[in-house]
A and B are shown apart, each in its own frame.
Chain A
Amino acid sequence: MKISLEKAKQICTKSQYGEATWWELVQLNVYLLFSKECAEFSSKNKKLTSLCERAGLDTLSEDDKDDMKKKLKKHL
């Protein structure tokens, strides 16, 4: 049942994507009761998720980037 702080933080990250298992969530919630550091990390982690959603980030696909590189190389 006992997990390390690092492991608790990793589960916290996994839970931000809704991919922590039921058992991992139990472990994390128990840990959060006793660890202020983990609770602070968890709150920042949630905030980061909401900032990423708010920013509505876009990214180019790897194919697009490869294509850009090829075209750029021709001009070099």
Chain B
Amino acid sequence: MAAYKLNPDHWVDLYADYLFNYAIARVSDAEIAKDLVQETFFAGLKSAKNYKGDAAERTWLIAILKRKVIDHYRKINSNKGKAEVRINYNTSSESEGDWLEEQVADPFSKDGDNTIENEELGLAIEDCISKLPKKQSLVFKMKTIQGMSTEDICNELGINPSNLWVMIHRARTALMGCMNQTWF
């Protein structure tokens, strides 16, 4: 029997946002990403007995999620026969006379690199946020990521604005320390 124990009770609190960001970067749809995260947790439970502790719990869940994302695209592509490829020639008069080659993706474009770097950055921030005390992390996310008003957060959590700013300040200071070496 494996000596390594998983903690599914804490999976949602500890990993849901990290997995969600990972998934949304790949499927670009919040609802699908949410479903994939939920399916990942179910699959994790199902194969919990196979967890040998070689990787951290989160890395193990990410590996499951990766397969879920692949399955998702396979499912979409299984409808391939019904799909049809359309090439839209640009008919606007402004681009009349332009070469067709100019309309295809630029292989030297840095957009792809930026997307990958921003995804890495997002996961690095999420990783650091997950190391914060629970309430600090919650307040930081509500204010910085969800963009909620100070008043709404205070009402929801039953704290006063002074407490809120102290918590956000501590969270940001900790995040700066956590991300310091790679990103600053």
Residues on A lying within 8 angstroms of B by beta carbon are 9-10, 13-14, 16-17, 19, 44-45, 47-48, 51-52, 54-61, 64-65, 68-69, 71-72, 75-76
Contact = CB atoms under 8 A, between A and B. Distances in A.
Say whether chain B's binding surface is mostly helix, strand, loop, or mixed.
helix
Interface in B92-130: 118, 121-122, 125-126
Interface of B: 8-9, 11-13, 16-17, 20-21, 24, 30, 33-34, 37-38, 41-42, 45, 118, 121-122, 125-126, 141, 143-146, 150, 165-166, 168-169, 172-173, 175-176, 179-180, 183-184
B21 to A, nearest CB: 6
A59 B179 contact: no
A19 B126 contact: no
Contacts of B37: 60, 68
Say whether chain A's binding surface is mostly helix, strand, loop, or mixed.
helix
Given A17-B143, A19-B150, A48-B175, A60 B183 contact: no
